[in-house]
Amino acid sequence: MAEKEHVATIGDISLGDMSFGYSPIFNPRAKAIFGSDIYSLDSSVAHELGLHVSGTDEFYSKDTTIGFEQGLSSTRSVTMNSTETEIESIIRDGLISHWEFNEGSGSTAIDSHGSNDGNIIGATYSTDSVVNDYSLKFGGDNSGDYVDTGNDWFVTGSGSRTVVCWYKLDTSTADTSRSSLFNFGNDGGSSERDFCARLNDEEDEWRAQFWSSDRDYTATNSYDGNWHHKAYSYDGSTVRIYHDGNEVSTLDVTLDTGDSVGYIGQWRGDSDEYWGGNIDDVRYYNRELSASEISDIYNLNG
């Protein structure tokens, strides 16, 4: 995991600059306890249920006491507590890539877990976000805005996988018949080779696009301009589709996902397929996440 510099503030106590690795997922329920005083952790620190130990694969999970010296006049103990289940295993288990879109500037979307940095083409940073400080905003129909993550790293064929992300739709710029959140697969034209989430003509209508065997489904209020959570999982035989932490549709299919495109914010490059609105916190796993795991991830920020 990459190490990142943070300035952490708990109440009026500044912990100063600390370097630690983390799997960035903000848990607003995390607390720090100094003696009998409880402080809410600033979002620059509370990226998960526990802090990752720099340079190791270990995590401090809930109810673990951590001593900090840096930035304090004396060593103080911080206890990380959570009312949630210990989901650090979800964050790490099977995670291939994680794009936070929290850089704030530049044309590279850093993969904070893996090595698949994305090339930001046209899209711009926005402070309207769900996780951390920024999301990416995409210009919609004919904009040419998307993120290219490459094409030689994601699961192909009928391998198990899960893609999760947050999105906010702007119907004034998106083509509601084809505007696409992501496609990790082929660029169309061959049976079961795509792995794409896109809109589908009518209000609140979506298509899980695999080419040939697709699944059209309804997600209530999904076009309302608010932030929503989307997840597609696959276990080798069944695609499960989740909206805001709830399963809304399934499809039994044997996928043969290709390897030609890894796009966020478009399907295959046609002018009417670019996403209109914001996308945040995209994660790609090489396993099927369970319904309860996806619900837990959604509830951290939902």
Query: pLDDT at position 93, please?
Result: 86
What are the pLDDT tens digits along the chain (302 aa)? 232 222 233 332 233 333 333 323 323 333 333 333 333 333 333 333 233 333 333 333 333 333 332 332 223 333 333 334 345 455 678 999 999 999 999 999 999 999 999 999 999 999 999 988 999 999 999 999 999 999 889 999 999 999 999 999 999 999 998 899 999 998 766 777 899 999 998 899 999 999 888 999 999 999 999 999 999 999 999 999 999 999 999 999 999 999 989 999 999 877 779 999 999 999 999 999 999 889 988 987 76
Q: How far apart are CA 302 and CA 291, in angstroms?
A: 15
Query: pLDDT at position 201, please?
Result: 85
CA-based angle 96:279:154, to the nearest 5?
25
Query: pLDDT at position 45, please?
Result: 37
Burial class (CB in 10 A: 0-12, 13-18, 19+), 26: buried
Query: pLDDT at position 33, please?
Result: 31
Question: 189, 99, 185, 186: which is closest to 147 by C-alpha?
Answer: 99
Structural domains in the chain? Answer: 3-86 (no CATH), 93-301 (2.60.120.200)
* pTM of the complete model: 0.73
Tokens of 252: 């039994």
